[in-house]
Amino acid sequence: MNRIGVCPGTFDPITNGHLDIVNRSLKFFDTVIVAVARNPQKAPLFDIKERLEMITDSTKGMTGVQVEAFDGLLVDYLKRKHAHGIIRGLRAVSDFEYEMQMAMMNRNLDQSIETLFLMPSVEYSYLTSTIIKNVASYGGNIEGLVPPLVARRLRDTFRSAP
Ligand code: ADP
């Protein structure tokens, strides 16, 4: 049986924390779909095409990983993909409340779907896409915290900013 997990998020942009979670989730699923929310309420810095490109490039060596954009309800997307579970990362206690609400709501929408929470490696446990963008916007060093293509794209974005 091909067990399929979906790792959803905005990934604006993908960080080594996200990659750590995707990598760990491959222990539980044969296929992990990194599902990029196309139209989140968050007004992303990178458009969907750029976010998909950066994730595809960063996961190219990882067997079993697929990258796709999605719209609409996550539980409907899982049904379309015949997927078995949602994978989310938990960095700190502060993530817990929101993640718990989402997991309970998704269960309410579809009883058959489970949410799996995984902890990242400690060196990525404070990383968020927002903090990476903030540091990069002031020219700070983000090497080792994001994949090389992401570091390049962030440098280019903020260099060309007015
Ligand atoms: P969202 O738009 O749902 O907040 P994100 O793109 O920010 O999505 O994150 C997607 C998932 O990755 C979430 O489960 C989030 O908790 C997790 N995540 C993000 N950064 C890290 C990190 N540094 N370590 C572990 N999990 C992380």
Candidate list 42, 79, 80, 152, residue with the active-site label: 42
74 occurs within a structural domain: yes
- Which domain CATH number covers 80? 3.40.50.620
65 occurs within a structural domain: yes
pLDDT, position 39: 74
For the CA of 88, the closest atom of ligand 1 is: 14
Q: What is the pTM of this model?
A: 0.94
9 occurs within a structural domain: yes
Helix (H) or strand (E) holding 9: strand 4-9
pLDDT, position 92: 83
Active site residue 42: yes
- Other beta carbons within 10 Å of 147: 19
156 occurs within a structural domain: no
What is the SS3 assignment for 112?
Answer: coil
111 occurs within a structural domain: yes
155 occurs within a structural domain: no
Give how many domains the chain has, as a whole number.
1
Mean pLDDT, rounded, of the chain: 95
Active site residue 91: yes
End-to-end CA distance of the chain: 52
Q: What is the CA radius of gyration of the chain?
A: 16
pLDDT, position 1: 83
Among 22, 37, 4, 27, smallest CA distance to 114 is for 4
Cβ(89) – ligand 1 distance below 6 Å: yes
Give the structural domain span for 97. Answer: 4-125
Chain segment 110-150, per-residue pLDDT in tens: 999 999 999 999 999 999 999 999 999 999 999 999 999 99
12 occurs within a structural domain: yes
141 occurs within a structural domain: no
Low-confidence ranges of the chain (pLDDT < 50): none
CA–centroid distance, 158 to ligand 1, in Å, is 23
Angle between helices 48-58 and 148-159 (to 10 degrees): 150
Helix (H) or strand (E) holding 159: helix 148-159
Q: Which residue carries 């309410």 as its tokens? A: 108
Chain centroid to CA 114: 17
